[in-house]
C-alpha cells in the first residue's frame, strides 16, 4: 500500500479554507480524523437509491447498492464506487493498527475499512464511514 501525501490530492485547501467550508463537526472528522458518535449520523439507516459523495469536495464515493446493515453505528459499504474513489493508509492511532479510508480527491478522512468480519457481502469488507463525511444524491428515475 502506497502511503498518500498531501501532494497526492487534487483539491488543495488551506486549513483556514477548510474551516470556512465545513461546520465544526465536519471539520473535526474530515480534516482531523475524528469520529461522530455511533448511531447519530443521518445515513446509518438511510435506504434511498443513489450516490454518496464526499462532503469536503463532492467526489462520488459509494453507491447505495453497496450499502449494508452492519449494526455498527455508522453507514457501512462493501466496496467504494470505483477503485480510485478512495485511498487507504495504515492508521496506528489509539494503540491499534487499522486501515484509514480517505477521499482520493481531497484527502478527507472518511472512516476505516475492516476485513474478514463474516458479513454476507461480496467482498467481506466493511467500509465504516462517518455520515458527516457524506452527502447524498437520489438516483435519477429510470424510464420504463
CA dist list (Å): 10 to 18, 50, 103: 14, 25, 10
Given the residues 54, 57, 103, 128, select the one marked as catalytic: 128
Q: What are 109's three cell numbers? A: 478522512
Per the annotation, the verdict on 128 as an active-site residue is yes
Helix (H, G, I), strand (E, B) or coil at 47: coil
Report the b/e string of 29-43 with b at 16+ CB within 10 A.
bbbebebbeeeebeb
CB atoms within 10 A of CB 61: 26
Residues with a known catalytic role = 128
Amino acid at each position: 500500500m502506497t502511503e498518500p501525501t498531501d501532494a497526492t490530492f487534487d483539491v488543495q485547501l488551506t486549513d483556514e479554507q477548510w474551516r470556512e467550508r465545513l461546520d465544526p463537526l465536519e471539520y473535526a472528522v474530515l480534516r482531523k480524523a475524528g469520529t461522530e458518535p455511533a448511531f447519530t449520523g443521518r445515513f446509518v439507516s438511510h435506504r434511498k437509491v443513489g450516490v454518496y459523495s464526499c462532503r469536503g469536495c463532492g467526489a462520488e464515493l459509494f453507491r447505495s447498492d453497496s450499502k449494508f446493515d452492519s449494526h455498527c453505528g455508522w453507514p457501512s459499504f462493501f466496496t467504494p464506487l470505483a477503485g480510485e474513489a478512495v485511498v487507504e493508509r495504515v492508521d496506528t492511532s489509539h494503540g491499534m493498527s487499522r486501515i484509514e479510508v480517505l477521499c482520493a480527491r481531497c484527502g478527507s478522512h472518511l472512516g476505516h475499512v475492516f476485513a474478514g468480519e463474516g458479513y454476507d457481502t461480496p467482498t467481506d469488507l466493511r467500509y465504516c464511514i462517518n455520515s458527516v463525511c457524506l452527502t447524498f444524491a437520489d438516483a435519477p428515475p429510470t424510464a420504463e
